[in-house]
Amino acid sequence: MHEVDVIEEAGAAATALDPIRTRLLAALAEPASAATLAERVGLTRQKVNYHLRTLEAHGLVHEVRTRRWGGLNERMLVASAASYVVSPGAFGAAAADPSRSTDRLSARYLIALAARVVREVGGLVRRADTEQKRVATLSIDTELRFASPAERTAFAEELAKRVSELVARYHDESAPPARAYRLVVGAHPIPTDVGADRA
């Protein structure tokens, strides 16, 4: 099971976003049978089986083993990942695209950049999984507080200058396309209710 998986296909996204199926995916962090899940989520076994077949058809759950139970062979299923993100690619032509933004300093441009990261890195991970390889990435995540708006502006200017200097030092136009990386730097206020959506 992956820690996180990116759902690229629109049908899979619609399937996963169904409230009952979302509950089933969460309950399948550990292998379970339809009968066990039916007890956990308060549905009939038949209804659970219907939803499991739909999830399985989209590759969101898979069988890990069977067990003999009460004279029957019972399938044990598990979710493909512990958590999911829907790729903007699932929206087709309506997907977020930073190239459509005219305001590079707007919050919506930052959302479009983040969406592109999900789409691109999700695609890289899928290919790497198929080839049993790893994707070379770099992530930096930190928090900071500014004493004033002027300090925030000064930080942004200095960060842009330092990043530009590093890019100029290491960028090699003659390197093969396979060695090209996208660098995205973003900052946003931390919502005061950031824990509320995790409860």
| pTM of structure | 0.79
- The SS3 assignment for 85 reads strand
Q: Measured between alpha carbons, how far is 111 from 95 in angstroms, rounded to an integer?
A: 11
33-54: b or e for each residue (b if 16 or more CB lie within 10 Å)?
bbebbbeeeebeeeebbebbeb
In DSSP terms, 186 is beta-bridged to none
Average pLDDT value for the chain: 90
Percent of the chain with pLDDT over 90: 68
Residue 96 backbone class (left: φ over 0; alpha: ψ -120 to 50; beta: rest):
beta
Pick the CATH number of 5-84 from 3.20.20.450, 3.20.190.10, 1.10.10.10, 2.130.10.10: 1.10.10.10
Q: Measured between alpha carbons, how far is 79 from 61 in angstroms, rounded to an integer?
A: 4
Which pLDDT value is given to residue 105? 84
Q: DSSP H helical segments within the chain, as ranges?
A: 10-17, 19-27, 34-41, 45-57, 107-131, 149-170
71 pLDDT higher than 80: no
The label of the residue with tokens 């999700």 reads 122
With CA atoms as reference, report the closest residue to 159 among 175, 176, 146: 146
Q: What backbone torsions phi and psi does residue 11 show, to the nearest 5 degrees?
A: -65, -40
Which pLDDT value is given to residue 192? 83
pLDDT digits (tens, 9 = 90+) for 100-115: 988 888 999 999 999 9
Q: Where are the domains of the chain?
A: 5-84, 87-189
pLDDT digits (tens, 9 = 90+) for 152-187: 999 999 999 999 999 999 999 999 888 899 999 998
Q: What is the mean pLDDT of residues 84-101?
A: 91
| Distance (Å) of CA 125 to CA 62, 119, 120 | 19, 10, 9
